[in-house]
Amino acid sequence: MNPSNSSQWLALVIGNSRFHWGYFEGATLQKSWDTPHLTTRSITQTIPNSLLIPEVPNNLPIYLASVVPSQTKLWQNYPKLNLITLEQIPLKKLYPTLGIDRALAVLGSGEKYGFPCLVIDAGTALTFTGVDNNSTLVGGAILPGLTLQLQVLANKTAALPQTNLPFNLPSRWSTTTPEAIQSGIIYTILAGVESFIEDWLEKFPTSRVVLTGGDSCFLVDYLQSNNTSLLDYISQDDNLMFEGIKSVSIY
């Protein structure tokens, strides 16, 4: 199936924490939403309505990319499944263990905003993935994401509380434990993000930097509040992986 010629189809990215869905009509993304992972039930003839929004039929073709093998197995018997692999990504010098989500996001960014590009995905993991103007992978980095760092401190210590990401940039010099946790994680992440962006722009001055992922809106707001000089180079886009899937399905 070539989705550019098909009326309706679904893109599904199985991330570390949840499903990311995109509903397409032809080559146009109409809706996107997230749902929890499946339990142990396998999918056979139709998609459970609990995973869909009301206007989407439950028997559409699916283009699926996954970083969770146990969840991928639950879709293997779906008759209209198209599994996307790293070998299908039209970028050069991809290494075998590169996450398919990272590859699709940077492909989608390049297709939409142009190459070279740097994608910063603020999800469960915070990842940096850069591709040059010849569509060749330059490299990247991986570290725990903002929310994951907050969760780990609460889960792996005896006295530190669970803390959520604040809507506003906290005071750097905090006087309560929750705010001190927020400050420590957020300001060190911001320093790292700005350092990676600055280094990338030294190599590729015309590049766009695109933030995506569940915590990317927080990260963009924090960068704005921190008065970074890099904002002119930065965009925020939640649908990069869907752009990548659309590109792969048409190639």
The domain boundary, picked from 29, 60, 83, lies at 83
Contacts of 103 (CB under 8 A, 6+ apart): 86, 89, 91, 94, 129, 244
- Examine the domain organization and report whether 206 and 145 are in the same domain: yes
- Examine the domain organization and report whether 123 and 47 are in the same domain: no
Spatial distance between the Cα atoms of 141 and 163, rounded to a whole number of angstroms: 25
Cis (ω within 30 of 0) for the bond into 116? Answer: yes
Per-residue pLDDT of the chain (251 residues; tens, 9 = 90+): 555 445 899 999 999 989 999 999 999 999 999 999 998 788 988 999 999 999 899 999 999 999 999 999 999 999 999 999 999 999 999 999 999 999 999 999 999 999 999 999 999 999 999 999 999 999 999 999 999 999 999 999 999 999 999 999 999 999 999 999 999 999 999 999 999 999 999 999 999 999 999 999 999 999 999 988 999 999 999 999 999 999 998 74
- Examine the domain organization and report whether 118 and 233 are in the same domain: yes
- Examine the domain organization and report whether 147 and 36 are in the same domain: no
Spatial distance between the Cα atoms of 81 and 78, rounded to a whole number of angstroms: 6
Burial of residue 85, with CB atoms counted within 10 A of its CB: 0-12 exposed, 13-18 middle, 19 or more buried? exposed
Strands (E), the chain: 9-14, 19-25, 28-35, 62-66, 81-83, 117-122, 125-131, 137-144, 208-212, 234-236
Closest CA to 157 of 180, 138, 139: 180
- Examine the domain organization and report whether 125 and 232 are in the same domain: yes
Spatial distance between the Cα atoms of 126 and 60, rounded to a whole number of angstroms: 32
Report how many helices (DSSP H) and strands (DSSP E) the chain contains, helices first: 6, 10
- Examine the domain organization and report whether 182 and 227 are in the same domain: yes
3-state secondary structure of 97: coil
**Token output for 101:** 């989500």
What's the CATH code of the domain at 23? 3.30.420.40
Q: How much is the pLDDT for 39?
A: 84
Spatial distance between the Cα atoms of 127 and 115, rounded to a whole number of angstroms: 18
Q: How much is the pLDDT for 6?
A: 56
Q: Which of 34, 101, 121, 221 is catalytic?
A: 101
- Examine the domain organization and report whether 71 and 119 are in the same domain: no
Q: How much is the pLDDT for 4?
A: 46
Q: Does the residue 150 lie in any domain?
A: yes
Q: Does the residue 108 lie in any domain?
A: no
Residue 239 has φ and ψ, to the nearest 5°, of: -110, 20
- Examine the domain organization and report whether 143 and 29 are in the same domain: no
Spatial distance between the Cα atoms of 186 and 208, rounded to a whole number of angstroms: 23
Amino acid residing at 116: P
- Examine the domain organization and report whether 62 and 130 are in the same domain: no
- Examine the domain organization and report whether 139 and 35 are in the same domain: no
Strands (E), 26-136: 28-35, 62-66, 81-83, 117-122, 125-131
What is the domain extent for residue 131?
114-240
Is 221 considered catalytic here? no
Residue 166 has φ and ψ, to the nearest 5°, of: -80, 155
Q: How much is the pLDDT for 251?
A: 47
Q: How much is the pLDDT for 45?
A: 87
Q: How many CB atoms lie within 10 A of CB 231?
A: 13
**Token output for 3:** 């989705």
